[in-house]
Amino acid sequence: MSSFFSHVALRAPSVTTGTPTYWYADDSGYKTDYALNTTTGNRPARQPVGTTKTIAPLYPFSSQGAQSGMNYRQSLAAEVVADRQFARAAVNYMWAYFFGMGIVDPPDQFDPARLDPNNPPPSPWTLQPSNRNCSKP
């Protein structure tokens, strides 16, 4: 996921004329993919894998890379909003916030493999929704 942000640089505002100014993301900041064998950030050094020194973006749930005609952030946004599970989880978080209990509760343990009443998970697992009618696709 970090490789989707490898082309983004954080830029300081260039104008400070009494109006509030903010830092902004500049998509033309870098032109290389996510570099391995670096020590930047708060993580341990990422080691190269064989001769691979950079990693191109790849959305883990659909195995799609960056789309042509879009910058990396736009590609990631397109993949996230097209992901059905993203919509389900977002609604579940809102439901839990407003009603005190998620459709799937606890909301942080949403498991798509335990939602279909026509294909229940093997024992000892059970269907996950707290409201069985909300589990229909």
Query: pLDDT tens digits for 32-53?
Result: 788 777 666 666 777 777 888 8
3-state secondary structure 57-88: CEECCCCEECCCCCCHHHHHHHHHHHCHHHHH
Which residue's structure tokens are 């290389």? 32
- Residue 11 CA to residue 39 CA, distance in Å, equals 21
pLDDT at 71 over 80: yes
Residue-number span of the structural domain to which 93 is assigned: 84-135
Total domains, the chain: 2
Count the residues in the chain.
137
48 and 75 housed in the same domain: yes
pLDDT at 24 over 70: yes
21 and 66 housed in the same domain: yes
95 and 58 housed in the same domain: no
Domain end among 41, 67, 82: 82
Query: pLDDT tens digits for 81-136?
Result: 998 888 888 999 999 999 988 888 888 888 888 877 788 888 888 777 766 555 45
